[in-house]
């Protein structure tokens, strides 16, 4: 059975924290999404405006949580400075009837390669499987996103296959996606 929280919790391990988004995150999200790698490998629009970030934090994420369709966390770390903004991670495309969710994330440029992404994926995955009650968590990754593929493998996600022409980019290109999954034991 799925247990849906009444509010987004704070999860932490070592110096990594996943917490609910707050108004002060808008500027950090806007700044991070200026990195061309983020829209290249995610569904983040390009160009990404401050209005996008405001709408994401003030409207989209809260409504999705209320509808039991997404749980969004902001990733912070104390590795460099207290509460350093490192990215976002969420369960989205939640299917309560089938006990499944899709994992999505992006890591800010300055936080990559420091183990922050892998720790964040493990934290949210454990929460999803052990507390919420998901039986399956899926992650779709651009076939060319080698770093994200390595991250998911290091977090014990199993490669299940390549989905041909799964996503259509804004320019009309259709790209292949790699499907990873983590299953409740």
Encode pLDDT of 84-105 as tens digits. Answer: 999 999 999 999 999 999 999 9
Section 15-34 average pLDDT: 97
Q: List, in sequence order, every residue forming a beta bridge with 152; answer none if it has no partner.
A: none
| Dist CA 48 CA 127 (whole Å) | 30
pLDDT of the residue at 1: 82
Residue 80 has pLDDT above 80, yes or no: no
CB under 8 A, 24+ apart: contacts of 84-88? 84/111, 85/25, 85/28, 85/32, 86/16, 86/111, 86/116, 86/120, 87/32, 87/111, 87/116, 87/117, 87/120, 88/21, 88/29
pLDDT of the residue at 59: 98
pLDDT of the residue at 31: 98
130: which residues sit within 8 A by CB, 6+ positions away?
Answer: none
Section 15-44 average pLDDT: 96
Run of H or E including 175: strand 174-183
Apex 151 CA angle, 146 and 154, nearest 5: 125
| Dist CA 158 CA 152 (whole Å) | 8
Res. 143 pLDDT band, cuts 50 70 90? very high
Section 119-134 average pLDDT: 98
Break the chain into its structural domains and give their ranges. 11-139
Res. 114 pLDDT band, cuts 50 70 90? very high
Fold classification of 11-139 (topology level): Aminopeptidase (3.40.630)
Alpha helices in 67-127 (DSSP H): 116-126
Asked if the bond preceding 47 is cis, omega within 30° of 0, the reply is: yes
Residue 52 has pLDDT above 90, yes or no: yes
Section 157-162 average pLDDT: 98
Residue 170 has pLDDT above 90, yes or no: no
Residue 72 has pLDDT above 80, yes or no: yes
Section 103-113 average pLDDT: 96
pLDDT of the residue at 138: 98
pLDDT of the residue at 62: 98
pLDDT of the residue at 2: 93
pLDDT of the residue at 163: 97
Q: Are 91 and 124 in contact (CB under 8 A)?
A: yes
Q: How high is the mean pLDDT of the chain? A: 96
């Amino acid at each position: 059975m799925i247990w849906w929280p009444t509010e987004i919790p704070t999860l932490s391990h070592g110096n990594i924290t996943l917490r609910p988004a707050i108004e002060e995150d808008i500027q950090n999200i806007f700044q991070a999404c200026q990195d061309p790698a983020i829209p290249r490998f995610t569904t983040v629009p390009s160009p990404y405006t401050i209005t996008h970030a405001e709408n994401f934090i003030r409207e989209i994420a809260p409504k999705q949580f209320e509808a039991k369709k997404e749980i969004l966390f902001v990733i912070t770390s104390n590795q460099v400075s207290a509460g350093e903004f490192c990215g976002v991670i969420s369960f989205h495309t939640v299917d309560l009837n089938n006990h499944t969710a899709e994992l999505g994330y992006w890591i800010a440029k300055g936080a990559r390669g420091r183990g922050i992404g892998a720790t964040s994926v493990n934290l949210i995955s454990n929460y999803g499987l052990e507390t919420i009650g998901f039986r399956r968590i899926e992650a779709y990754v651009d076939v060319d996103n080698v770093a994200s593929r390595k991250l998911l493998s290091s977090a014990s996600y199993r490669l299940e296959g390549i989905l041909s022409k799964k996503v259509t980019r804004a320019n009309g290109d259709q790209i292949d996606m790699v499907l990873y999954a983590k299953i409740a034991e």
